[in-house]
Amino acid sequence: MAEAVWYQNSSSGTLTVAFDRLYVEHLLNERASGHFPSLIFQLHVFASLASTNQTLWEMSSEMERPTPEGTVVIAMQQTAGRGQWGRQWQSNAGGLYFSLMLTPRILPAESGQLTLLSAWGIARSLRSLGIPIWIKWPNDLVLERRKLGGILCETRIRDGVVAQAVLGVGINWNNAVPDPGIALASFWQEDSRRAIASLEHLAAVVLQGIATSYGQWQRQGMASILADYQSLLMHLGRTVNIDCHSGITIPGVTVPSVTVPSVTVPSVTVPGVTIPGVIVGVDRFGMLRVRLTASEAMGASSMPIEEISLPPGRSPWVILNHS
Q: What's the pLDDT tens digit per position in 180-205?
A: 899 998 888 755 557 899 999 999 99
Q: What is the pLDDT of residue 145?
A: 92
Q: Let me know whether 27 and 106 are in one domain.
A: yes
Q: Let me know whether 221 and 292 are in one domain.
A: no
Q: Let me know whether 225 and 269 are in one domain.
A: no
Q: What is the pLDDT of residue 166?
A: 98
Q: Let me know whether 294 and 153 are in one domain.
A: no
Instruction: Please tell me the total count of domains within the chain.
Output: 2
Query: Which of 215, 231, 247 represents a domain boundary (last residue)?
Result: 231
The 10 Å Cβ neighbour count of residue 158 is: 10
Q: In b/e form, how buried is each residue of 16-44, taking b as 16+ CB within 10 angstroms?
A: ebebbbebbbebbeebbeeeeebbebebb
| Listed range (91-105, 233-247, 298-312) with the worst mean pLDDT | 298-312
Q: What is the pLDDT of residue 54?
A: 94
Q: What is the pLDDT of residues 108-132, one digit of tens each?
A: 999 999 999 999 999 999 999 999 9
Percent of the chain clearing pLDDT 90 (strictly above): 52
- pLDDT beyond 50 at 12: no
Q: Let me know whether 256 and 113 are in one domain.
A: no
CATH number at residue 196: 3.30.930.10
Q: Let me know whether 152 and 269 are in one domain.
A: no
Q: Let me know whether 259 and 225 are in one domain.
A: no
At 11, is the pLDDT very low, low, confident or very high (cuts 50, 70, 90)?
very low
- pLDDT beyond 60 at 295: no
Q: Let me know whether 223 and 266 are in one domain.
A: no
Mean pLDDT on 48-73: 91
d(CA 307, CA 209): 32
Q: Let me know whether 173 and 298 are in one domain.
A: no
Whether residue 268 contacts residue 241, with contact meaning beta carbons closer than 8 Å, is answered with: no
Q: Let me know whether 108 and 168 are in one domain.
A: yes
Show the domain range for 278: 239-320
Query: Which of 202, 231, 260 represents a domain boundary (last residue)?
Result: 231
pTM, rounded to two decimals: 0.84
Q: Let me know whether 79 and 225 are in one domain.
A: yes
Query: Which of 203, 231, 259 represents a domain boundary (last residue)?
Result: 231
d(CA 76, CA 123): 22
Amino acid letter for position 320:
L
Mean pLDDT on 162-166: 97
Q: Let me know whether 200 and 295 are in one domain.
A: no
